[in-house]
Amino acid sequence: MNRRQNYKSVISLLITTYLLVFSGSLVYAADINKLVKVCADCHGENGNSKIINSPSIAGMSTEYFMESMQDYTKSSRPVEKLKNKKKTMKDVVKKLSDADKVALADYYSRQKFIPYKQNFDAAKAKAGKKVHRKYCDKCHTDGGASADDDAGILAGQPSGYLKYTLGNYASGKREMGEKMGKKFKKMQKKKGDAVIDDLVHYYASQQ
């Protein structure tokens, strides 16, 4: 079992434990209505973003949600100032209890993901589709639209967010697992910097 698989197992155990402990009273253990209201400012109603630089989190798997929370806590994921220009996601996550995180993970995993309506370049999207199939599809199946991979939904995300995230991976600002790192570097070496733009347009085209 590699480090990522072991980490996911720990997260799954944590989620299962909290769900068993709180059972039907989970929403009372963590005031889900207040928590969701705070998240909606950037991630939209029910987790579907209306902001081009902010990701939709509806439909996200509980494992990936909790992994993201941990990444923010460890500062292994880059952060930008939020809408109020005073806080970052790391600041928000610091205030969440474990029960809060599990409640949010459970809530958003049950919401329907709605692709972001946006413009895209058809030629770049076509090129990006080929790149995705060759380098990304094993971990981001169904064209990056599946949440079951526990790797985050890419298809239909706002293009500003996609560009920021993929750019951080390309520059080394955001950590990658060993498997992803090898694939990503191979892709960059063969396709060059333009490959990021092609992937952004491909994922943005899935509406």
Q: pLDDT-based confidence at 193, cuts 50/70/90?
A: confident
User: Which CATH number do you get for residue 166?
Assistant: 1.10.760.10
pLDDT in tens, 39-94: 999 999 999 999 999 999 999 999 999 999 999 998 889 888 776 667 899 999 99
What's the chain's average pLDDT?
87
Look at residue 111 in the predicted model and tell me its pLDDT.
Answer: 97
Residue 116 lies in a domain: no
pLDDT in tens, 125-148: 999 999 999 999 999 999 999 999
What is the biggest distance separating any 2 CA atoms in the chain, rounded to whole angstroms? 52
* Shared domain check, 94 and 72: yes
* Shared domain check, 95 and 159: no
Assess whether pLDDT exceeds 50 at residue 32.
Answer: yes
Q: How far apart are CA 68 and CA 74, in angstroms?
A: 10
* Shared domain check, 88 and 157: no
Mean pLDDT of all residues in 100-104: 90
Last residue of a domain, one of 56, 87, 109: 109
19: containing domain: 3-109
Q: pLDDT-based confidence at 31, cuts 50/70/90?
A: confident
